[in-house]
Structure 1
Amino acid sequence: MMPFLKKHIPGNPTVVIQYMDGGGGRKGANHIFNSVAPDGLTIGAASGAIIGLGVMGETGVSYDINKFIYLGTPENENHYVIYTRKELGVDTLKKLSSKPGIRIGAQTVGHVSYVAGRLFAYFLNFKDPKFIAGYSSREVDVALVNGELDARANLATSVLRRNPDWYDKGLMNFHAIMEVPRGDKHPKLGHLPEITTFAKTETEKKLISVWRAFRGVGSPYILPPGAPKDKVAILEEAMRKTFKDPEFPAYYRKIVATDPSPLGPAELRKVVAGIPRDPETLDMLKQFSGPGPLPPR
């Protein structure tokens, strides 16, 4: 983003990146909200996790997601899929739901892939699934190939980029997808059943909507509350011009290895404002992000 913001901010000012360990999460969001001067000269490059942490009221959050000034995000398409190793022999949803003790791998308890795996297991009616955390992302892949694990949930772009043969040569069975945003069909995996079709109640539909919204905020660029309106307007316009810049998609692909799917300031604000926040749904989601058993269905 840096070279394009410099290009599209009037006067082409110097843009400096300041690294902060943990700056993409609650630590960085707390810093932007509480410590940064609201002069419009410091932009936070956050991960989408800050929205979920704020909505869920997690420990250590000292910011209010409703008071940040959102400039936009370069990506908001985050399709998740669930797949199993071919040797497991579950190539249909019926076989998947009747196979007991499927081992689903993830990085850590509460990680995006961990929660996604638990959501898929719940909605696809896995029989006594086992959730095994403690891997790096690549270690999960190795464990799948070696038969140490049976399944994982992952970003569609990640699995197809790192292991294209898993789909192209049928080395893994792909079962379902969570579209982020809903209705945006993945070019290769759009034929998979969408997780919402398995929801039985309005509460379950809200649960998916909340999680989808958490993932749909992408990697938001934020300003602290109280930033001057004239500088906010300049930065918003620079962000819009960046996303329309014909050179931006190729540059983004070179850095991130996937296509951009940007949301401008107004679109991102709308996504954040529209996240369901009723206590029943949030309490249910906490059962998926923790180490305990899945809720009964």
Structure 2
Amino acid sequence: MTIKQLAASVAAATLIAAPAMAEVDLSGKTIEWVIPFSETGGSAKWANFFAPLLSEELPGNPTVVVKFMPGAGSTKGANWFQEQEHEEGTLLFGTSGSTQFPYLLGDPRVRYEYSDWVPVMASGTGGVAYLNPTDGEKFDGSANGLKGTNFIYGSQGATRLDLVPLLAWEMLGMNVEPVFGIKGRGDGRLMFERGEATIDYQTSSAYLGASADLVAQGKAVPMMTWGALDEDGNIVRDPTFPDIPTFKEVCQATDGCETEGEAWDAWKAFFIAGFPVQKIAFLPAGTPDDVAQTYSDAFDAIRNRPDFAERATQQVGEYPVFVGAGAERATKEGTTVSDEAKAYVQNWLQEAYGVSLK
């Protein structure tokens, strides 16, 4: 499905009139927004950006506290959330592509089911890969000058969102050795800052929050973004980083890298699943309709604030925000890939990293 089709279907779903409901009052309550990653990554910055705005827009202006539950590439927190029940609308859970990918790939550690949860907001993001200054001097818009270099990359795991950069670098013919086991992408950035890693990538919010400073200080060199989708489903430059080439552009400029065929189709499928609908806010299974509608209305009010676009562009990037029925539709699109793309990635994970998910 193209972005144009997704937007149309989301708009249609959003037009469905909600039934009249009793007013929900959250006065004096504390909302715990649980993020299954460390406090240094993009999901943390995303939740911390929305949390105070949510407090302002929810009825009764409850306190919204962001809490972190890292572990097992976010499956620990997601499995925990699967067991939670509705309690007065005071629990919110935030996922990212690194939570979606294990679900899509049939990771045996997954004991959660997206269709059980109640999505109230979904937003897209992008990602930027960057190099250390020494290797950055070899980058000329293609990866040809990087093929003889051995890179180290701090990774949450090959079945997480990291599969998008790992597969991209392999398609470019680069030698990138992942060090698995970090709790969040922020920890990968810290490895890069300490010189323990020589290549890194961050989602847009984390890049804007920290990695862009490394670039400004001359300690990192941007390589590429994953891009964005236009209305026809084509990969174009990320609107948040219009001066940085996309992976597609770098691939086209690199010997041996193809932007068609099985590898490209699989990469693009997981990019679409992981980024245009990348971060989602959920209420627990069993949440009453009036509470879910209250949250949807609050997030709708946030995205319609006159200052929202400017603030979002500076802190989390320029990406669409879906709410309510739109978030439900977007979540479905973000947790679905073709059987062909799934099979290709499963085979690649087995061959490249010895990871068996079949």
Answer yes or no: same fold by TM over 0.5. Answer: yes
Out of 118, 122, 125, the position equivalent to 2:170 is 122
Alignment of 1:91 with 2:151, yes or no, is no
Offset of residue 226 of structure 1:
3.4
Residue 322 of structure 2, aligned match among 253, 263, 268: 263
Q: 2:104 aligns with which of 55, 70, 83?
A: 55
Q: Which residue of 1 aligns with 2:194?
A: 142
How far does residue 59 in structure 1 lie from its aligned partner after superposition?
2.8
3-state secondary structure, aligned to 2:194: helix
Partner of 2:274: 214
Give the distance between the partners of 1:113 and 1:235, measured in 2 at CA.
27
**1:190–1:209 distance in 2 versus 1, CA, 3 Å:** farther
Q: For the aligned residues, what is the CA RMSD?
A: 4.0
Instruction: Specify the alignment match of 2:292 in structure 1.
Output: 232
Q: CA deviation at 1:191?
A: 4.5
Q: State the match for 2:34 in structure 1.
A: none
Query: For residue 330 of structure 2, what is the amino acid of its counterpart?
Result: V
Q: 1:222 is paired with a residue of what secondary structure?
A: strand
Q: Aligned residues: percent identity?
A: 13
Q: Are 1:131 and 2:184 matched, yes or no?
A: no
262-271 or 161-170, larger mean C-alpha shift: 161-170
- Give the superposition deviation at 1:71: 0.4
**Any gaps of 5 or more consecutive residues in structure 1?**
none
Cα separation, 1, equivalents of 2:352 and 2:305 = 47
8 Å CA contact 1:287–1:294 kept in 2: the answer is: no
- TM-score normalised according to structure 1 size: 0.73
C-alpha displacement at 1:113, in angstroms? 7.2
1:46 maps to which residue? 94
Report the Cα offset of residue 87 of structure 1: 5.0
2:306 partner letter: P
Asked whether the 8 Å contact 1:79–1:180 carries over to 2, the reply is: no
Query: 5+ residue gaps in structure 2?
Result: 1-49, 230-234, 253-257
Deviations 1:111-151 (A, max 9, x none): 8674344122122222x4433457732221331xxxx6543
Aligned in 2, Cα 1:290/1:106: closer, same or farther, shift over 3 Å? farther
Q: Give the distance between the partners of 1:63 and 1:159, measured in 2 at CA.
A: 29
Is the aligned partner of 1:154 residue 2:214? Answer: no
- The aligned residue for residue 274 of structure 1 is 333
Q: Conserved in 2, the CA contact under 8 Å of 1:71 and 1:222? A: yes
Distance 1:89 1:133, change over 3 A: farther
**1:216-269 C-alpha deviation (Å, 9 max, x unpaired):** 33432112333322332222112211222235567778xx94457433234433
**Equivalent residue for 2:62?**
14
Q: Which residue of 2 aligns with 1:243?
A: 303
What per-residue deviation string (whole Å, max 9, x for no partner) do you get for residues 33-78 of structure 1?
Answer: 33313x66243222213222322222332221123211004x4222
Decide whether the 8 Å contact of 2:153 with 2:179 is kept in 1.
yes
Q: Counterparts of 2:115 and 2:181 in 1: how far apart (Å)?
A: 33
Give 2:178's aligned amino acid: F
Give the C-alpha shift of residue 173 in structure 1: 4.7
TM-score, normalised via structure 2 length: 0.63
**2:145 match: secondary structure:** helix
Mean Cα displacement is larger for which, 88-97 or 56-65? 88-97
In the TM superposition, what is the alpha-carbon distance from 1:291 to its structure 2 partner? 9.0
1:76, 1:180 within 8 Å by CA — same for their partners in 2?
no
The answer to whether the Cα contact below 8 Å between 1:86 and 1:171 also exists between their aligned partners in 2 is no
Provide the C-alpha distance between the structure 1 equivalents of 2:159 and 2:193, rounded to a whole number of angstroms: 16
Helix, strand or coil for the counterpart of 1:292? helix
Distance change >3 Å, CA 180–CA 286, structure 1 → 2? farther
Q: How many residues align?
A: 284
Q: 1:13 to 1:210 in 2, by over 3 A?
A: same
